[in-house]
Amino acid sequence: MNASQTAKTPYQLKLFPILTILGWILIMLALIIGLVVLTPTAINYFGANSKEVRDAAEAGSQLLSQISILASIPLWLEPLTFLGVAFFICGIALEFSVIPSLVKMRGDAMAKAFPLIVKLGS
Amino acid sequence: MQKMISKMAPKFPILIWMGFMIVALAFVIGFFNSQTAAAYFSESKVVRETTLLAERASIESTNLWLPYLKFLGLGMVLGGIVMALRVILDNLMQAGGKVLANLPADKRPAVPAAPWYGRLMPVVMMLGMLIFIFALIVSLQLASTARAVFANPLPVIDAAGAGTALLAQVQTIHATSAWLVPFKFFGIATEFLAILMGLATIAYVLKAQTEMLKKGVQAARTSMKQPKPVKQQEKAPVAETVAA
């Protein structure tokens, strides 16, 4: 049995934690933006103004900048969270891809070990 | 706790089945909601905004809580996958133990402890489930707020001024939805993290077992190379063996 065959860590096992952390960062970022940017903006925009006032907002006003934030950020925030989820799924795929080679290596080791175990037991 | 999880893990098909049923139920509810929406929008704008209040309330409130029910179902399916990984892990470790049991106790290599992420995996999975349940509870509260808001004709809702209860309710719906949407993805991320932990543990166990088998083969070869009289001497005290 080749010793280096089992000692070497496959690249997938080195890469998947990076993808997991990236996915985690993106999803946490989306949650933080939701909590820190969108929620206070929605509170200010909807809480203090009637629809009549909101509809009458003119270009350059604070109300228009608020509705602009509320309408535009979710448009890229949702794809960003999906990108985060995609990173997680890629990490899972990488881990799945390494399992067959590990099982094969274990099978080879078992094939070498089994005759010895049988001899030792008899 | 680990023993309790190992006992519960083989029941993972129940979790997956329940999750699937919830997602299927969400589809049926969504279908009926779409029928209500089709009937609602077939009426003129004046009739819709002044007469069909119950329909509007039903559509708006269902749209608020239904996605979280779907995510709870998906979370249960993912939780089931985590439990299935746990079953694979337990079986792998048991099989490894059985193989090593063939070696004499003194020649048997030490079994390495399970990695921290392997022990933490079910906890992370349960945390994900709690996130989904919490999100569903909040969304149900939002749905009841939406029902209260849309029980009023649309012109009344639009006319609600600053400081009114109606505007505060509208504010609650928008403000809560702003963080609740990314929060459900946080739950999905937690479930995926648990799956990643499970797969990483399987990879770790497979690697560790291969290493142990290698050590076992070496130990077996060494003991087989030793001549038989030496085997008899093993029973004698060490001091005598050294002296001989």
- Distance between A58 CA and the closest CA of chain B, angstroms: 18
Q: Do B202 and A99 touch (CB under 8 A)?
A: yes
Secondary structure, 3-state, B73-124: HHHHHHHHHHHHHHHHHHHHHHHHHHHHCCCCCCCCCCCCCCCHHHHHHHHH
Among A24, A42, A89, the residue with its CB nearest the CB of B174 is A42
Which two three-digit tokens encode residue B192?
A: 């995926």
Query: Does residue A2 carry a pLDDT above 60?
Result: no
Query: Does residue A5 carry a pLDDT above 70?
Result: no
Residue with tokens 């003119």: A58
User: Model's pTM, two decimal places?
Assistant: 0.79
Which two three-digit tokens encode residue B120?
A: 């933490």
**CB proximity list for B148: less than 8 A, separation 6 or greater:** B169
Between the alpha carbon of residue B150 and those of residues A43, B30, B73, B175, the distances in Å are 19, 19, 28, 17
- C-alpha dihedral (B192, B195, B199, B202), degrees to nearest 10: 160
Q: What is the pLDDT along chain B (244 residues), one digit of tens a residue?
A: 777 877 888 888 898 999 999 999 999 999 999 999 998 988 888 888 888 899 999 999 999 999 999 999 999 999 999 998 998 888 888 887 777 777 777 777 777 778 899 889 999 999 999 999 999 999 999 999 999 999 998 888 888 888 889 999 999 999 999 999 999 999 999 999 999 999 999 999 888 888 887 877 777 777 666 665 544 444 444 333 333 2
Q: How far apart are CA B141 and CA B124, in angstroms?
A: 26
The answer to whether the CB of B132 falls within 8 A of the CB of B61 is no
Which of B211, B213, B225, B231 should be substituted to probe chain A, the one whose Cβ sees the most A Cβ atoms within 10 Å?
A: B213
Which two three-digit tokens encode residue B195?
A: 């799956």
**CB proximity list for A48: less than 8 A, separation 6 or greater:** B162
- Tens of pLDDT along A66-107? 999 998 998 899 889 889 999 998 888 888 888 888 888 888
Which is nearest to B170 in space by CA: B155, B157, B156, B189? B157
Q: pLDDT category, A115, cuts 50, 70, 90?
A: confident
Among A27, A50, A113, the residue with its CB nearest the CB of B167 is A50
Query: Does residue A4 carry a pLDDT above 80?
Result: no
Between the alpha carbon of residue B227 and those of residues B180, B233, B240, the distances in Å are 72, 10, 18
**pLDDT at A110 (0 to 100):** 78
Residues 19-78 in A contacting B (C-alpha not used; CB under 8 Å): 20, 23-24, 27-28, 30-31, 33-35, 38-43, 45-53, 70, 74, 77-78
First to last CA, chain A: 24
